[in-house]
Chain A
Amino acid sequence: MTAQIPQDHAHIVDLLPAYVNGQLDASSARRVRAHLESCATCQLELASWQSIKGATTQIFAATPLPSAQLMSQVWAQIDTSEQVRIAQRWSLERALRRLWLVFRSQIPLIHKSIWVASALVCLFGLALTLLMAQHTPAQTSAAANVLVLFIVVVGASGSAFIYGSSVDPGFELTIATPTSVRFVMLCRMAIVLGYNFLLALLASAAFATVYGGSLWGFVQLWLGPLLFLSSLCLAISLFLGSAVSLICAAVIELLQTFPRSVAAHLVSLPLPSLDFGSTSPALLIAALLLLVFTVFFVPRQPRLAS
């Protein structure tokens, strides 16, 4: 304590406890002593504080010690909390490993034709696009639209066949295991969507290399529609079956790709005015909402019905 003493009596009083403890610096202590010599009130105050210090010290000396086993109880508590921490870390690692196993084991369960058909259709679309005569920007744009059509339909078709009793050889097994059907479906969706995304990216890279233009600009043409239609197809396939889902996807995408005037000319019917033309935040949000709805809906499928 190195506080300076003001001349004010009130502050001398404030410093008396520190003076009793011997915590004042030498000059402050001298000034307190000088004040005390001439102030009877402060002498009484000092005597009171000295008594209080004596009494508290006496009480402290008489305070019992804690029991001798206290430290061993502390170690037991520390050991228990560390074991719990280690167990929690292990259980987290185990859970992650299990999730990875479930994810990986979905790959052989997905219908093999999805891999082959998707690659072939995508390749066909790319070849068709490259063969189209493209001398003007309008022709290039039309070719790009055709490639987008193939990419989106391939993606949507894949999603239509990833889950359900009619297309899954291990379906009975899936619904009989304690593994969450929601998680199984999400894993498959991620695998198939990831595969189709890769195919589409390769096709887009080839297209951009041959005809120039920005790869990202081209990706934006199909990314939103691919995600939206894939989610939509998954949802429809659960409600109405994979075939209906596939037809719906094809119809929607055809309506999008061909100019409405041409379509109206051919069938002369009022067509729905939907615009899934390119990637937009609204389309991405719609895709996400559809996926959330489907994940929520899927446990109400055969598992609960049976």
Chain B
Amino acid sequence: MAAESIADDAQLIRRIARGERQALSELYARYQRSLFAYLLQLTPDYGLAEELLQDTLVAVWKCAHSFEGRSSVLTWLIGIARRQAHNTLRQRKLPLADLAALECMPATDLEPEEWALASVARDELAQAFRELSPVHREVLLLTFVQELSYQETATILEIPVGTVKSRLSNARRALRTLLEAKEDTKR
């Protein structure tokens, strides 16, 4: 992200902290797509994702003064959205992905690809992506759509950088497993 854009974002948060409503509207216009896409990966319920987005913006309005600029504004926003989502899902007893089970998948870094995901049609891959667990969708989205660094992703997910890398590999492996299962069904 360009330095100018980062400074501009930080200025926006300072204006929100001063109580400028226009600044929150500008921030929303800038990040609504990113935040909403992220929340939709955590819950398939469109209405609930909107509710979580509202809660995120209210939280931003209330705690803008605590933004210290240690991370980028996008990282900070997604971090808030993630906390809101987890709190709400826990309160409503909605299922959260079983992280422990996912992290226990064996490391596959050195396992050669038997066939490349590149050979799969884009639509088919997109469909398999939708069937992934939220935890895997989340890490792929943060890395490839939001284009956050491993370090920023680790900050948001509150995990070590090494776990981000292994979770990415696991996500890819899960995608491949899903696609292999589809292939078997076709035959």
Query: What residues of chain A have their CB less than 8 Å away from a CB belonging to chain B?
Result: 1, 3, 9-10, 13-14, 17-18, 20-21, 23, 41, 44-45, 47-60, 63-67, 70-71, 73-75, 77-78, 81
Contacts and interface: CB of A to CB of B under 8 A. Distances in A.
A73 B145 CA distance: 27
B178 interface: no
A65 B130 contact: no
B109 to A, nearest CB: 5
Interface string B112-151: 1100111010100110011000000000110111010110
B93 interface: no
A141 to B, nearest CB: 63
A17 B117 contact: no
Interface of B: 21, 24-25, 28, 32-33, 36-37, 40, 46, 49-50, 53-54, 57-58, 61-62, 109-110, 112-113, 116-118, 120, 122, 125-126, 129-130, 140-141, 143-145, 147, 149-150, 165, 168-169, 172, 175-176
B172 A49 contact: yes
Nearest to A76: B54
B122 A54 contact: yes
Contact of B113 (A41, A57, A74): A41
Given A70-B54, A77-B58, A45 B126 contact: no
Contacts of A44: 112-113, 116, 118
Main secondary structure of the interface of B (DSSP, over half): helix
A304 to B, nearest CB: 42
Nearest to A21: B147
Given A47-B118, A51-B116, A56 B145 contact: yes
7 contacts: A10-B110, A14-B109, A17-B143, A17-B144, A48-B113, A48-B172, A70-B32
B125 A45 contact: no
Contacts, number: 113
Given A18-B150, A49-B172, A63 B116 contact: no
Given A41-B113, A50-B118, A77-B58, A55 B126 contact: yes
Most chain B beta-carbon neighbours within 10 Å: one of A17, A23, A56, A58: A56
A18 B110 contact: no
A253 B81 CA distance: 69
Kindly list the 4 A-B residue pairs having the minimum CB-CB distance in the complex, ordered from nearest: A47-B118, A48-B117, A55-B125, A44-B113
